[in-house]
Structure 1
Amino acid sequence: MSPPGSTTPEERARIKIDAALEASGWAVQDRDLMNITAAKGVAVREFKLAQGHGYADYLLFVDGKAVGVLEAKPEGHTLTGVEPQAKKYAAGLPATLKPPVKPLPFLYISTGSDTRFTNLLDLKPKSRRIFQIHRPETLAEWLSADPLDHWLKTLHAEGSGFYSAADATRPSTLRTRISTLPPLDQGHGGAGQFRNQIEAIVNLERSLKQDKPRALIQMATGSGKTRMAVTSIYRLIKFGGARRVLFLVDRANLGEQAETEFQSYRTPDDNRKFTELYGVQRLTTNTIGASTKVAITTIQRLYSMLKGEPDLDPTLEEEGAQLTPGAAPANAPLPVVYSSAYPPEYFDVIFIDECHRSIYSLWRQVLEYFDAYLVGLTATPAAHTFGFFNQNLVMEYSHERAVADGVNVQFMKYDIRTKITEKGSIIEAGPDTILKVRARSGEKWLKPDEDITYQGKDLDNSVVAPDQIRLVMRTFKERLRTEIFPERKEVPKTLIFAKDDRHAEAIVEIVRDEFGQGNEFCQKITYKTTGTKPADLIRDFRMRFNPRIAVTVDMIATGTDIRPVEIVMFMRSVKSRVLFEQMKGRGVRVIDRDELRSVTPEALAKTHFVVIDCVGVADSALNDTQPLERKPTVPLKKLLETVAAGSTDADVLSSVAGRLARLDRECSVEERRAVAELSGGLSLSSMTAGIVAALDPDEQVKKAREMFGLPASAEPSEKQVEQAAEALAKAAVAPLATKPELRKKLQELRSSHDQIIDHLSRDELLVEKTGFSKDVKDQARSLVSSFEAFLAENKDEIDALQFFYSVPHRDRLRFKDIKALAEAIQAPPRSWTPEALWRAYELLAKDKVKRASGQRLLTDIVSLVRFALHQKAELKPFSEEVRERFDSWMAQQANKGRKFSDAQVRWLEMMRDHIATSLEVEVDDFDYAPFAEAGGLGRATQVFGKELTVILRELNEVLAA
C-alpha cells in the first residue's frame, strides 16, 4: 500500500501517459467532462464499455468517432501479455456508438515509458514497440486509406498475398499493401538492374512481407546498392503506398551522390524520371517540404531536427564533426524526445546507407525513435551490424561474386617497401647535425646532443622522413609504366590514403616534384581543404582529366563513388577490417568505357584496379573492432570540452582514450610527472586504461551485478547495464571532467609536441619485397592452369577448339566459332575475359607476352589459345600477327614480280584489318563499312578484276592461319 500523499505505480504511469498523449496532439478528458468534438483527437479516461467488457483506461476518438483504446500499466509491467485484454476492450464498444471500423482497429498498451501498438487493420496484426502514441491526424489518414481491392484496381494489379473479402473492403495499411507487392520479374522494376540488385530487392520484399522490422543488405562496394535502394523505394511508394521514405547517409557528399541517383533513375514501367513522379529533397535546411516523398539527409541533421533546432551548421554533417560543447549527451545513446513536427510515424521506411558506422552507439536511439522499417545497406558489416538488424541478413553479395558477375572489377596487389618504412632509422648526432622541427607554433631548428632513433611506426607521427615518401613516389612513377600499367603513358586516376593532414601535405608536395607536374596534377582532398569545397574537388577528380592523383585521409575512405579510380595506394596502416575493405573498395567500381576515356583518354577499359601497399596493411592482422580513435577530425580541445559538459558517449570516450594513449607515447618524463600532479596521481596510461575498461561490455555487466546486488549467475537487464556503464564512464573521466587545469595542460602538451623532419636519412628500396604480391602471381598461375585444363577438357566439345587441336588444321576457323568459345569461357562459374587471361600470362612470362597497343579484340582469343597450347612461342595481339603475315605476304608477292597499284594496296589493307577483327573477309562484307564507303563490291571488282576471288582466298588462308 502506498503511503498517504504518494502516488501508485499505475498513477505515475498515467501521469506520463497523459503527458505523452497531449504532446502527440490529443485532448485528454475525464469521462464526466467528455467533449469528443473539442479536438481532432480526444482520449477519454475510464470509458465504460459494453456489459462484460469493463472499462477502457483510455478510449480514443478521432473526428468524434471511436477508433481505438489505450490500456495503461505500471512502470516495469511486461506488455505483450496484456494484448488479449486490449483486444477485448476493442470489441466492447457500446452498441449505441458507430465506429468507422469494428472492432476498434488501433490498440495501445503503455507504461508511459514503454508503449506497444497493434493495428487490427493489418492482415496479420502484430504488436510492435513504438516511441509514443501516434497523432490523431495519422490515425485519421490511416482510416481514410483506400480499401485493398480499390487500391489494387487503381494500380491495375492483382495482389500476390492472401486476403479475405473483409480485408479487401477495410482501409488498407502499409503492411497489407506491401504483402500484395507485384513480383519484380513482371515488368515492375527489374529492367536495367544487375542480377544481384534484383535478388536483393526480391529478398528485401520477402522480408517486408513477413513484417520483419529490420533488414540488412550486404552488397560489395560498387555493386549498385544505391540504385537497388532507389528501385525498392519506387516500388514501396507506388505499389506499397509508402507515405514518406528517409534515405540516411553519414556525410553530406554521400547525400549528393544519392540525390543524383534518384534524379537519373527512370521508372521501368513508363520510363519517367523518379523525380518527375515523386518529390525528392536533399535536406540543406531543417525543414522537409510538404510534397516530399523521399528525404535525403545525414543522421546529424536528423537529430538536429528532432531537437527542434532551426538549422545545422553544414560542417557538422561531415564525419567526426558532429560534436558541439554544451550540447553533448549525458550518456549514450543520444537522448531523443518527442517532436511534434517529426513524430515517430513521419517516415514509413528508412534506408541507412553505409550502416556499418556509429548507428549502434551514438545514433541508435535516433533511428529507433521512428515507427518505420529499417533497411541497412553496407559492403562491410561488423558483428554488431548483424545484431542491430536482428541477424536478418536478406542479401549477401561478396566482392568475389561481384567480380564473377561483372559488377565489380578485380584487384591486384603491388607492394612498395623501403628500409625506413619497415625498420625506421637513426639520426646520428654530430657537430654539423641540424634538424628542422615542425611545431604548431611554427618551424624551428634543433641541434641534437645524442642520436635519435625512430621506428617505422613513428613515421609521419613524431618523425617525417621526406626521402621515404620520395622513394616510394619515385618507385611508383618508375614502375607505373613498366609493371603496374605498362600500356599507359598517363597516370591512371590514383587515390592515396595518408595518415593525417600534415602527412597528406607532404605527399602532395613530393608527388608534384617527382612527376614534374603542377598543382592541378595532384590535389589534397581532406576536411581541412580550404578555398575550394571538398565536394567540388571530388567532382573534379571524378569527372575531369585533372587531378590525376588525389591524396586524402578519411574523407573519401567510404561510400564516395569515384568510378575512374584505377589505383588505390596505402601510405597509412589501419587495423579495422571494415575500414580497410571500405578504403580498398574505392577502386572496385565498374565504369563505362566512354566515361572512363573522358577522364583517362588512352584507357581502353577498366579491367582491374591495383592496390599499392606501401605499409604492409594488406598483410597485417585486421579485426572487426573499431579503433580507439573514432573522431579523428574532432580537435582534442573539443573532445575534452564535451567530456566536461557531461558526455559519457562511447565514441567520445574512446577517442579521448586514443588521444591520451598517443600523447603518453610522445611525452617526456617531466611532462608525465606534471600530468600526474594535476590529475591527483593518475598517469596518462592509467587514465587511458580506465576509460577502455569502462567501455568493456564485460566490465559493464560485472558493474551492474555489483550495483544491483545480483548473483554471478544472474543476467542484468539492459537498463541496469546502461546505468552501470554510465557509472563506470563517469568515474573513468572524472579527472578530465572536474579538473580544468588538467584539460588545459593536456591541450598544451598536444600543441607543444614537435615533429622532427629527417632530411639526413637516405632510404633504400627493398627490391625483393617490391612488386606484385605472391598472391597475385599465385592467382595468375591458377587462372592459367584452369584455362589450359578447360581447353583440354573441351577439345572435342567446342568447334573452335577442335580446329586448334586438329593436325593438320581442318577447314578454316570462323568468327562464329571464336565467339562461341568466348561465351563459353566467360560463362559462370569461370567468368574469364581475354584481358584477364592476357594479364595472367604477362605476370608469369613477361618476356614472352606483348601488350596490345590498341583495344583488346575478340580475335585475341586465337592468340591466347595458340600460346596456351604451345603452338606459339610468343603471345602477341592477333591483329599484330595478321599485320606481320600481311607484310610477309606482300614481300613474297613483290619477289614473284606481282605488283599492286596504290588503289589495290589500300583495298588490301582494308581486307587485312577486317581479318584482324573478324578472322575472315568475304564478298558480302563489301556491303558494310569500311568497304561500302570506298565503293563496295563494284569498286573492288573494278580495282582487282578477275583476281578478286583469288585475292580473298589467299588472304583468308595466309592471314588467319
Structure 2
Amino acid sequence: MLSQAGWDVQNAASGLNLHVQGDRRGSGVAVREVTTARGRADYALYVEARLVGVIEAKREGADLSAAETQANGYADHLTDAQQRLVAWRTPLPFRYVSDGGETRFRSTLDPDSRTRRIFSFHQPRTLARWMRQADEDPQAPSYRARLRLRMPELDERPLRPAQITAVQGVENSVALGRGQHGMGQSRSLVQMATGAGKTYTAVTFAYRMLKHARAERVLFLVDRNNLGAQAFAEFENFTTPDTHRKFADLFNVQRLGAEGMLASSKVVISTVQRLYMELTGRRLPDSVPEGEGSEADLPYDVPGDIEVGYNDTIPPEAFDLIVVDECHRSIYGKWRSVLEYFDAPIVGLTATPVAQTFGYFNGNLVSEYTYREAVADGVNVDFSVYEIETRITGEGGVIAQGTVPVRDRRTRRQRYEDIAEDIEYGAKEVGVGIISKDQLRTVIQTFRDRLFTEIFPERAKRDRDTDALLWDEMYVPKTLVFAKNDNHAEEIVEVIRDVFGKGNDFCTKITHAARKPAERLADFRNLPQLRIAVTVDMIATGTDVKPLECLIFLRDVKSWAYFEQMKGRGARTLSLTDFERVTPGVGPKTRFVMVDAVGVTRKPKVDAAPLERHSDKQISLEKLLRKTAAHTIEEEEVSTLASRLAKLDLQMTSEERAEIERISGGVSLKDIVHGMVKAVSTDDQLEAREAAERVGRDPERAVRDLIERALKPLAAAPVLRARLLEMRRAKDILYDENSRDALVRAGAAVDDEESAQATVRGWKQYIDDNRDEIAALTIAFGADSDIPPAVALRRLQDVARSVARPPRSWTPDTLWKAYENLGQALVRKRAKRTAADLLALLRYELAGGAERGAPVPRPHEEAVQERYSAWLARQEQSGVSFSTRARWWLDHIVGATIERVRFDTADLDYAPFTTRNGTDGFLAEFGAHRAEEIIDELDKELGA
C-alpha cells in the first residue's frame, strides 16, 4: 500500500537514505522500526527529509482503536534529537493505523481533529502540499481549519434566500465534519426544489472553497451526460461576486473523458460510471463509448460487483469536496464503493430525497426548500391537472382474429401475421406490447380540441365577426409527452403530426435512441416552431427546458421521486423576454398543466428503491433468464420474469405455443408461469415454511427450493430460453387497428369538496392562532399606514413562506382553489395567484368569511385593474386627460402595485422607471405638487 502511494520503504537499521528520491518536491520515505521516546513506531514517514508522521501497523482484525493510542503516543513523544533536528513540527501531525484491510487517519492540523477511515495512505506529495499550506498560514493550517477561519461573509446579492441557507449550511457542515457515520466521510444533504438553482448554489460554495479554503479540486458527479453539459456551462459562465470574472478564467473546469483527469483541473464533472472506468481502466459490460460530444449514458444496472483498486493518477485524496447532483440515484447500491474510495466530504443535491437518501447522508439535512415554498416565493410556477380518460386506456381491448400488423421492437420493421383467435389485452399492455392507434389518436385529438377552450382558455383567439376559434400553432404551449418506450414514442410522434396537421418541425422525438438527441433538445429549448417533444427518460430528470408549459403523461410512474422529477420539468420560471423568444404574444409563464391520460396523478406512489431492486424497466428478459440458469435470480425478480413471460404468451400464435411445449418436454409456457407465481405467493411460501419447521428443516431453504422447482423447466433448458428470447424480439409489438376508442371523460382534475373544506378549516385555524399579527399585517397595507410598503410586503411573503412549509404545504393557488371549489372566491383563469391574493383571503376571514356574509374575495390583479379603470374614468369626467407619456408612468405604477400590493415611491429609482430618469423624470412629467397628489390618490384607490 505504501509503495503504491509513492513511498520508498526502507529499514532504519541499514542503508537509510532519506534522499533516495532526490530533492524534488513531494519525495517521501517510509522507514520501518523507528525509535521514539515511547518506543518503536512501525513506520515513520519522512517528506522532503522531514519527519511528519507515523504508522502503526497491525495484523488483520486487530483492535485499531488501541493502535490509534499507540500511534498518538509515538507522534506526541519524539526523542530530543528528532524534535530538534528532523521533525517538521511537533507533535507530528499525520497519524495512520492499518491492518491491511482497514486504514484510519488523523491529522492534528485540523481543528477538533478526529480519526476517519481512508481507502489507502496519502501520497507524499499530498502531505508536502499540506505542509506548505500550513507554513503559509499557521493559524489556519488545514483545509478544514480554513473552512472555519478564512471564509469571508457570503455575498448574498446574487442569491435567493433558499440558496443562502444552503450555502451557509453546507460550509458549516463541512467545516465541522458533520454527517459522519462512525469514521466515514462527512456527508451533507441539500434538498432544494426543482428550478430553485441547485447547480448555481453548488458553484457558489465550490468557488468559495476553492478560493478561500484552498480546496485542491472539486468533483461534481452528475446522473446523466446531458446534465454534465449543463453543469459545465453553469461553472464556466458563473460570474464571481467578488472579482466579477468568469469562473473558468480563474479555475480550470473539465468534463472527464477519454483523456483522463488533467492535473490542472480544479473542477471535474463526471458520471459515476465514467469515473469508475477512469479509476479501474475497465469498460463496463454492454457499455457504449462515452466521451466529449457523446450523449450516450452508461448503464447503472451492470452484473457483478463494482470493485475499485488504488489508482496513483487519481488517488483517494484527489478531491477535497464531492458534490453529487440528483443524489437520489447515483450513490446507492454497488456504485457507492466508487464514492467511498475518496477521502473527501460529500454534499448531495436533490429535489426528491427518499428514505435511502436520508439514510446515506446520516440524516444530516443542512437545508430544505420544498416545491410549495418555491411556488410561494415565485421561484417555481404552480400547476393544474387536466385528465383525459378513454375506454381502452382504462380497460384494454381485443384484437380480433385475422391478419394483424406486427412490428419488431429493435428494427421497427413491420410484417403481417395471422392469429387464430382473439387476443384480449389489459390496460397495462397499452403502449408496451400493444399499440392502439385509435387510443393514441383519441387522447391527442382531445388534447388538441380542448387546448384553447379548457386547458389554456386564456389563449383563445376568436374571429370578431363569427366568434370562430382561430388556430395559431405559436400559441400551442411548449409540450413534453412522456412515452413508455422508444417504440411508443415513435407512434406518438406520428399521431401528433397527423392530428395537428403539422410536420417534423412541429413535433419531434427526443430519446437516447434518437439521432443527435442533444441537438434536438437544444432545438426544443430555442426554436419557436418546435412546439411538442416526445421522450421516455432523457428529459425526465434534471434537464432544463424552461419554456415548458404542458406535460402529457402517456405512461404510468410508480416512484414518487421519479414522478416529482418529471413534474419538475414544467415548474421552471424564466423572464418574459426569454419566454416570448419561443412563445410570443401570450404574456409571462404563470403556470403549467399536467395532462394525465393514464391516471398517474391519482395512483399511489412509493419511494424509489435502491438499484439492486430491479423494476420491470431496469432488467431485461435476457438477464432474467441468465440469472435463472445460474440460480442467482432473486425472489422479486421471479415475479418480474413471470410477468414478462405471461405477456409473451399473450402474443404467441397457437403454433408457437405448441413449439414451446415441445421444447420444454410437455409443459406449456402458461403452466411454467403459473408455477412461478405460486412459488412467490405468500400462501404457498407460508405453507412451505410450516412444513419445513414440522420436520426440522430450514424454512428459508424450503422457500428457495420451492422457487427453484418452479424455475427448473427454464433453468434446465437452454434451448427453451434461447427460443423464448427469439420470440420476444420478433413478437414484441402487436397493433390493434380495428378497436375504436371512446372518450370517457376530459376535464380539469377537481379536488373534492371535503378536501377543500379541510384546507379552508386549516387556513382559518392558522389565522385564529395568529390573529393579532395578521390583523396588524392587513392594516400595514392601508394607505394611511406608516409602515413602508416594502416592509409590509416582506411580512406578507413571510406568511406565504410559512404556510408553504410542511405540514400545511399551502400556496396562494392552493388556498384560492379551495375557496373557489366551495364557491367562496371568484374564479380566476389567468395569471397565477400571488401573496397579494393571500391578503384578500386574510381580510375575508378577518371580516367573518362566509358565516358573516363578508364580500367574496376577488383576485388582486383584476381588482387593481378595475379600480384603475374607474379612477381614469373619473379623471376624464372631471376634465383631466393624460398624454401617452403620462400614461406610461401611470400604467407602470399600476403594474408595480399589482406586483407589490402597495406602490413604494422608492420604486421610482428602479427599473422600469429608471429608463425615463426615475424620480426626476416622474416629477418633470407631472410637476412636484401634482406628482405627490397622484401617488396619494393611486395609493388610496388601488391599495388592497
Instruction: Say yes or no: TM over 0.5.
Output: yes
Among candidates 89, 99, 111, match of residue 111 of structure 1:
99
Structure 1 residues 674 and 64, CA gap change in structure 2 (3 angstroms): farther
Give how far 1:436 is off: 2.4
Structure 2 residue 425 is the aligned partner of structure 1 residue 437:
no
2:317 counterpart SS class? helix
Q: Deviation per CA, 1:263-290, whole angstroms, max 9, x where unpaired? A: 2222222322222221111223342222
In the aligned structure 1, how far is the partner of 2:476 from the partner of 2:767? 36
Give how far 1:582 is off: 1.4
Among candidates 746, 752, 759, match of residue 737 of structure 2:
759
In the aligned structure 1, how far is the partner of 2:319 from the partner of 2:681? 37
In the aligned structure 2, how far is the partner of 1:609 from the partner of 1:472? 19
In the aligned structure 2, how far is the partner of 1:517 from the partner of 1:839? 36
Whether contact under 8 Å (1:189, 1:268) holds in the other structure is yes
In the aligned structure 1, how far is the partner of 2:706 from the partner of 2:48? 51
Structure 2 residue 459 is the aligned partner of structure 1 residue 488:
yes
Specify the alignment match of 2:463 in structure 1.
none
- More moved, 600-609 vs 443-452: 443-452
Among candidates 567, 574, 577, match of residue 584 of structure 1:
567
In the aligned structure 2, how far is the partner of 1:370 from the partner of 1:729? 41
2:594 counterpart SS class? strand
Give how far 1:581 is off: 1.5
Structure 1 residues 249 and 127, CA gap change in structure 2 (3 angstroms): same
Q: Percent identity?
A: 39
Specify the alignment match of 1:337 in structure 2.
309
Specify the alignment match of 2:436 in structure 1.
465
In the aligned structure 2, how far is the partner of 1:338 from the partner of 1:32? 30
Structure 1 residues 94 and 381, CA gap change in structure 2 (3 angstroms): same
Structure 1 residues 299 and 729, CA gap change in structure 2 (3 angstroms): farther
Give how far 1:174 is off: 1.4
Specify the alignment match of 2:172 in structure 1.
206
In structure 2, give the amino acid aligned to 1:524: K
1:487 counterpart SS class? helix
Specify the alignment match of 1:32 in structure 2.
14
Among candidates 529, 538, 551, match of residue 555 of structure 1:
538
Specify the alignment match of 1:263 in structure 2.
236
Give how far 1:349 is off: 1.0
Among candidates 232, 253, 273, match of residue 300 of structure 1:
273
In the aligned structure 2, how far is the partner of 1:56 from the partner of 1:436? 79
Give how far 1:569 is off: 2.0
Structure 1 residues 561 and 908, CA gap change in structure 2 (3 angstroms): closer
Task: Say what the alpha-carbon RMSD is for the aligned residues.
Answer: 5.3
Whether contact under 8 Å (2:480, 2:534) holds in the other structure is yes
Whether contact under 8 Å (2:638, 2:676) holds in the other structure is no
Specify the alignment match of 1:774 in structure 2.
751
Number of residue pairs the alignment of both structures matches: 854
Q: Deviation per CA, 1:397-445, whole angstroms, max 9, x where unpaired? A: 222222233332222222211121111223455xxx6432323473233
2:331 counterpart SS class? helix
Structure 1 residues 908 and 595, CA gap change in structure 2 (3 angstroms): closer
In the aligned structure 2, how far is the partner of 1:338 from the partner of 1:27? 17
Give how far 1:114 is off: 1.3
In structure 2, give the amino acid aligned to 1:173: S
Structure 1 residues 60 and 671, CA gap change in structure 2 (3 angstroms): farther
In structure 1, give the amino acid aligned to 2:526: M
Specify the alignment match of 1:14 in structure 2.
none
Q: Deviation per CA, 1:287-325, whole angstroms, max 9, x where unpaired? A: 22222111111111111111136998117986863379x
Give how far 1:143 is off: 1.5
Structure 2 residue 644 is the aligned partner of structure 1 residue 662:
yes
Structure 2 residue 21 is the aligned partner of structure 1 residue 44:
no
Give how far 1:642 is off: 10
In structure 1, give the amino acid aligned to 2:407: R
In structure 2, give the amino acid aligned to 1:299: V
Structure 1 residues 602 and 24, CA gap change in structure 2 (3 angstroms): same
In the aligned structure 1, how far is the partner of 2:100 from the partner of 2:560? 42
In the aligned structure 2, how far is the partner of 1:172 from the partner of 1:956? 59
Whether contact under 8 Å (1:800, 1:818) holds in the other structure is no
Whether contact under 8 Å (1:885, 1:959) holds in the other structure is no
Specify the alignment match of 1:400 in structure 2.
372
In structure 2, give the amino acid aligned to 1:209: A
In structure 2, give the amino acid aligned to 1:662: R
Specify the alignment match of 1:195 in structure 2.
161
Structure 1 residues 692 and 372, CA gap change in structure 2 (3 angstroms): farther
**1:102-181 counterparts in 2 under 5 A?**
102-147=90-135, 150-151=136-137, 168=138, 172-181=141-150
Structure 2 residue 74 is the aligned partner of structure 1 residue 101:
no
In the aligned structure 2, how far is the partner of 1:142 from the partner of 1:647? 51
Whether contact under 8 Å (2:481, 2:533) holds in the other structure is yes
In structure 1, give the amino acid aligned to 2:199: T
Among candidates 418, 427, 451, match of residue 456 of structure 1:
427
Q: Deviation per CA, 1:586-643, whole angstroms, max 9, x where unpaired? A: 1222222322222222342232222222111222221124385459488655887899
Structure 1 residues 494 and 558, CA gap change in structure 2 (3 angstroms): same
Specify the alignment match of 2:591 in structure 1.
608
Specify the alignment match of 1:536 in structure 2.
519
1:247 counterpart SS class? strand
Whether contact under 8 Å (1:859, 1:918) holds in the other structure is no
Specify the alignment match of 1:273 in structure 2.
246
- More moved, 861-870 vs 381-390: 861-870
Give how far 1:816 is off: 11
Structure 2 residue 279 is the aligned partner of structure 1 residue 314:
no
Among candidates 413, 416, 420, match of residue 388 of structure 2:
416
Scaled by the length of structure 2, what TM-score is found? 0.76
Structure 1 residues 538 and 75, CA gap change in structure 2 (3 angstroms): same
Whether contact under 8 Å (2:819, 2:825) holds in the other structure is no
Whether contact under 8 Å (1:798, 1:821) holds in the other structure is yes
Structure 1 residues 555 and 66, CA gap change in structure 2 (3 angstroms): same
In the aligned structure 2, how far is the partner of 1:368 from the partner of 1:689? 41
Structure 1 residues 291 and 417, CA gap change in structure 2 (3 angstroms): same
Structure 2 residue 563 is the aligned partner of structure 1 residue 597:
no
Q: Deviation per CA, 1:164-185, whole angstroms, max 9, x where unpaired? A: xxxx46x8121222232436xx
1:67 counterpart SS class? strand
- More moved, 546-555 vs 91-100: 91-100
Specify the alignment match of 2:689 in structure 1.
none
Structure 1 residues 561 and 777, CA gap change in structure 2 (3 angstroms): farther
In structure 2, give the amino acid aligned to 1:44: V
In the aligned structure 1, how far is the partner of 2:6 from the partner of 2:925? 87
Specify the alignment match of 1:10 in structure 2.
none
In structure 1, give the amino acid aligned to 2:290: P
Structure 1 residues 776 and 524, CA gap change in structure 2 (3 angstroms): farther
Whether contact under 8 Å (2:437, 2:737) holds in the other structure is yes
Q: Answer with 1 or 2: which has the greater Rg.
A: 1
Q: Which runs of 5+ in 2 are unaligned?
A: 22-26, 179-185, 461-474, 686-697, 805-809
Structure 1 residues 539 and 130, CA gap change in structure 2 (3 angstroms): same
In the aligned structure 2, how far is the partner of 1:337 from the partner of 1:766? 59
Q: Which runs of 5+ in 1 are unaligned?
A: 1-19, 152-167, 697-710, 713-725, 804-811, 942-946
Give how far 1:126 is off: 1.4
Q: Deviation per CA, 1:781-800, whole angstroms, max 9, x where unpaired? A: 95799599979979975788
Whether contact under 8 Å (1:910, 1:931) holds in the other structure is no
Q: Deviation per CA, 1:32-57, whole angstroms, max 9, x where unpaired? A: 24322223222222x24145x33222
Among candidates 216, 234, 251, match of residue 243 of structure 1:
216
2:14 counterpart SS class? helix
